[in-house]
Each structure stands twice: as structure tokens, then as C-alpha cells.
Amino acid sequence: MKIPRDMSGNDMIKLLCKNWGYSVVHRVGSHVILQTETPSHQRIVVPSHPVLKIGTLHSILRSVATHKQTLRELILTDSE
């Protein structure tokens, strides 16, 4: 699956909260802090920008995939 180049920060936040067990902890400016406790504690920062830069998107996907022990491509699908 090709990584989308037009994904917004809010879309990424909704996807991670809905499908991957993250919840919004708080917001600092245009950045949203997400947290999960499964399989262990992790916090990540997602900018709520209209379009995420490709490097930022890759970094978020890599971090979540490593923590959840899955492939980056699977994070963008609708189900866990």
C-alpha cells in the first residue's frame, strides 16, 4: 500500500484513536499528544496540520508500528 501524501493530522489522530487504542491526552498549540497503554505505555505527538509532511507521517507510522509490532502499511487500514 502506498503512503498517502494528503493525510491531515486530524485524520491520523482519528485513525489511531479508533483502530489502535490511542486516546487524546492533551493539546499544545497545533500538536496533539496521544497515549496508549497496550501493549505498554507510549506517547506520541501528532501535529493537527491540514496536510502532514511525508517525513512526519513516516515517523508517526514507524513509531506506532514498532510499538504495536505490526507493519506500517497495516496502520493505515480500517481495522487492527
Q: What is the pLDDT of residue 1?
A: 63
**Is 30 within 8 Å of 47 (Cβ atoms)?**
yes
Q: Which three cell numbers stand for residue 28?
A: 499544545
Predicted TM-score (pTM) of the model is 0.90
The domain segmentation of the chain, as residue ranges, is 9-67
Q: Which of 37, 45, 42 is nearest to 13 (CA)?
A: 45
Q: At what angle do helices 54-68 and 9-19 cross, to 10 degrees?
A: 10
Q: What is the pLDDT of residue 78?
A: 61
Greatest Cα pair distance in the chain: 32
Distance CA 73, CA 71 (A): 5
Q: What is the pLDDT of residue 77?
A: 81
Look at residue 5 and tell me whether its pLDDT is greater than 50: yes
Domain 9-67 has CATH 3.30.920: yes
pLDDT digits (tens, 9 = 90+) for 13-72: 999 999 999 999 999 999 999 999 999 999 999 999 999 999 999 999 999 999 999 999
